[in-house]
C-alpha cells in the first residue's frame, strides 16, 4: 500500500515516512498543495496524510479536489494539522476527511489510525461488490431493501443488527474478533466496549436463529470471536 504524506515541514515528512516504511508501507511525499494534487493523480496512493496549512493550494482545497473527482472521490484522507480548534476539525470532516489528528502527535497513533481507515475503506469497497441478496439454510437477506426473513417469515432487526449480519455474511467462514467487529460495524463511535458486540450478537441470534442456544448462522469461535457459518459451493445464492 502506498501512502502519500503531504506536509511543508521536512522533519515531519521524514519521521512519518520512516515509521510507515518500517510498517511495510511505500511512501511518497509532497511539500505543497499543487505537488500533492499532482502526486495523487500520478502516484495513485491508497491513502493521503494531509496537512492543512500548505503553500499554494491549502490542504482543505486539496481535500475538496479529491472528493470532487470521480477517480479520487473514495481516496481515504487523514488530516494532520496544528489547527486544533473544534471548528477546524468539523470543517475538515465535513469536507470529506476520514480522520483528523492534531500536532503534536503520536506516530504510533497515526500508524494505528491509518490502518483503521484503510480497513474501513476496504470494507466499503467490499460492500459495493456485494450481491443484492444472500440466502443460506432458510435465511434470506435483501441488501438494497434491508429486509431479512427466515423460512419466508420477515424478521425485524435494528439497523446495527442488520449491519452486523451484513458484515458477517460478506465473508462466510471468516472469524472476526470483537475489536474487528467494533471497528467495522461501529466505526468511530466512542465509548463502545467489546462487550457491546456480545450483546448485539445475542439479540441477532434471538431474531434469526431457530434455536439461539444452538446457532447455525452466527457461530462463536471460542477465544477468537464470531463468524457466519462455513458455506460450501451451492449453499448460498
| pLDDT tens-digit readout, 70-106 | 899 999 999 999 888 888 888 888 888 999 999 999 9
Q: What CATH superfamily classification does 2-127 receive?
A: Response regulator (3.40.50.2300)
State the DSSP code for 153: E
pLDDT of residue 232: 60
Q: What is the pLDDT of residues 173-202, one digit of tens each?
A: 999 999 889 888 887 655 678 789 999 999
pLDDT of residue 189: 58
Cβ contacts of 198 within 8 Å, gap of 6 or more: 178
184 vs 164: CA distance, rounded Å? 9
* Cβ burial, residue 29 (10 Å; 0-12/13-18/19+): buried
pLDDT of residue 12: 96
Q: What's the pTM value of the predicted model, to 2 decimals?
A: 0.58
175 vs 57: CA distance, rounded Å? 44
Pairing assessment for the beta strands 218-221 and 153-155 based on DSSP bridges: unpaired
177 vs 116: CA distance, rounded Å? 14
133-228 fold: Arc Repressor Mutant, subunit A (1.10.10)
* Cβ burial, residue 150 (10 Å; 0-12/13-18/19+): middle
pLDDT of residue 237: 44
pLDDT of residue 129: 62
Give the dihedral sign, CA 42/45/51/52. Answer: positive
pLDDT of residue 234: 45
pLDDT of residue 190: 53
Burial 34-63 (b: 16+ CB within 10 A, else e): ebbbebbeeeebbbbbbbbebeebbbbbbb
pLDDT of residue 231: 81
Kindly list the averaged pLDDT for each block of 10 residues, start to end, along the chain of length 237: 95 96 96 96 96 92 93 93 86 90 93 91 69 90 93 94 92 90 76 84 95 94 94 54
- Domain locations in the chain as residue ranges: 2-127, 133-228
Amino acid at each position: 500500500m502506498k501512502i502519500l504524506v503531504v506536509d511543508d515541514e521536512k522533519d515531519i515528512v521524514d519521521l512519518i515516512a520512516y515509521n510507515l516504511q518500517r510498517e511495510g508501507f511505500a511512501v511518497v511525499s509532497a511539500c505543497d498543495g499543487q505537488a500533492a494534487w499532482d502526486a495523487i493523480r500520478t502516484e495513485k496512493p491508497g491513502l493521503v496524510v494531509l496537512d492543512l496549512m500548505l503553500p499554494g493550494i491549502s490542504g482543505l482545497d486539496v481535500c475538496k479536489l479529491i472528493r470532487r473527482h470521480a477517480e479520487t472521490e473514495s481516496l481515504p484522507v487523514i488530516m494532520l494539522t496544528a489547527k486544533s480548534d473544534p471548528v477546524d476539525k468539523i470543517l475538515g470532516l465535513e469536507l470529506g476527511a476520514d480522520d483528523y489528528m492534531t500536532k503534536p502527535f503520536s506516530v504510533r497513533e497515526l500508524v494505528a489510525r491509518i490502518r483503521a481507515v484503510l480497513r474501513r475503506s476496504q470494507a466499503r469497497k467490499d460492500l459495493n461488490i456485494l450481491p443484492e441478496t444472500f440466502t443460506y439454510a432458510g435465511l434470506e437477506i435483501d441488501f438494497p431493501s434491508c429486509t431479512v426473513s427466515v423460512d419466508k417469515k420477515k424478521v425485524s432487526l435494528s439497523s446495527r443488527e442488520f449491519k452486523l449480519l451484513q458484515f458477517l455474511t460478506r465473508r462466510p467462514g471468516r472469524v472476526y474478533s470483537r475489536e474487528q467487529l467494533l471497528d467495522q460495524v461501529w466505526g468511530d463511535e466512542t465509548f463502545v466496549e467489546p462487550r457491546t458486540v456480545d450483546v448485539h450478537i445475542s439479540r441477532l441470534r434471538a431474531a434469526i436463529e431457530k434455536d439461539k442456544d444452538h446457532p447455525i448462522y452466527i457461530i462463536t469461535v471460542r477465544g477468537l470471536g464470531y463468524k457466519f457459518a462455513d458455506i460450501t459451493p451451492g449453499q448460498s445464492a
